[in-house]
Amino acid sequence: MKTLEEGGRLFLQGGIACSEGAIAAGCRFYAGYPITPASEIAERMAERLPTLGGTFLQMEDEIASICSIIGASWGGVKSMTATSGPGFSLMQESIGYACMTETPILVVDVQRAGPSTGQATKCATGDLMQARWGTHGDHEVVALSPNSVQEMFDLTVRAFNLSEQYRVPVILLADEIVAHMRETVDVPPFERIELTSRRRASRRDEPPFGGVGDEGVPPMPPLGEGYHIMVTGSTHDEWGLRSTGDPEIHRKLVSRLVNKIRRHAEEITDNEEQNIEDCRVGVVSYGCVSRSVYEAMRRHPELRIGHLRLKTIWPFPEKAIRALAERVKTIVIPEMNLKQIYFEVQRASGRESDLAPINKIGGGLIITPEEIASKVKEVSS
């Protein structure tokens, strides 16, 4: 019988595809707490990891879950957790700790309607700003936005690669619709998937938190092999030693943490463009709503819609937004929240007007193709 690792064309649910993408990326440790609508990811990992020599832990809460995967990552294992809005909120302090200690981990946030408990089974995309600014202080994260079951697999692999390459927590900003839909997925043989290996210190005189030139990403020391280091969320020097009173050490450390992502933003960001060269109105979308944009374009070719889909939310793809703004008079921004990316598009495009939001919340009802087409007609008239 053919195993999933051999690849092929499969019919999978989004959450299952995410789990298999994680396994294909080399994830062998998962810690989590059940929460709608992300529990299918945990259930699949609980089934699969023990058969691969990996470890699954159901923790007492989301705080314990993310602390566990941080520890596992420092132990040398690719690690992840999955949650939704309330659990994501509980993880924020430790996401900041992972940023400060440069710990590669993956956090999957299957977004649902909030705030608080909200509508636990209904879709929304209201966690975008929380992903960027949920933890305090100056820092950078990477956040990816899948819009299909195929991308739940593909972007999970990419998320692990980016996390290892830049020693940074990566967030997969999925949503309930994409995580629960079922689609055909083309899965390559796992052995052929290109993976990024962690850069490990080869000498004991390599500092684990600096001294790396322009790239800004130091090697990670292998624990258990005689390296004596401190891993602390306090301000520290390049050897990990606490230094909470020296302004220069703090500036040097935090600036490097920020710049190692900002300087590589063009390599990290990834977008999909459709009909940008010959459009009247631009649409900027992400996540499940982008599928309605596809259908609106198919049904109404006469509207000449140009579509920019954000596969990377953070770092924000400012260059692509500016390029679109130079081509069109109006940009339509459909979101299942109350204008979270709208203001980022406004900032990046340099426009105070000629931006047309479409916002829908409550009940998990997706913005329809006709609602998008109607708005495009309105701004075109």
For the chain, what percent of residues have pLDDT higher than 90? Answer: 89
**What structural domains does the chain harbor?**
4-192 (3.40.50.970), 213-266 (no CATH), 272-380 (3.40.50.920)
What is the layout of strands, in order, in the sheet containing 355-359?
Answer: 271-274, 305-310, 281-285, 330-335, 355-359
Give the model confidence (pLDDT) of 196-216 as tens digits: 988 888 777 888 998 776 678
Give the model confidence (pLDDT) of 27-42 as tens digits: 999 999 999 999 999 9
Say if CB 159 and CB 170 are below 8 A apart. Answer: yes
Q: Please, which pLDDT band fits residue 1 given cuts at 50, 70 and 90?
A: very low
Stretch 291-320: mean pLDDT: 97
Q: How far apart are CA 43 and CA 114, in angstroms?
A: 24
pLDDT in the model for residue 202? 75
Cα pseudo-dihedral 274, 278, 281, 287, rounded to 10: 0
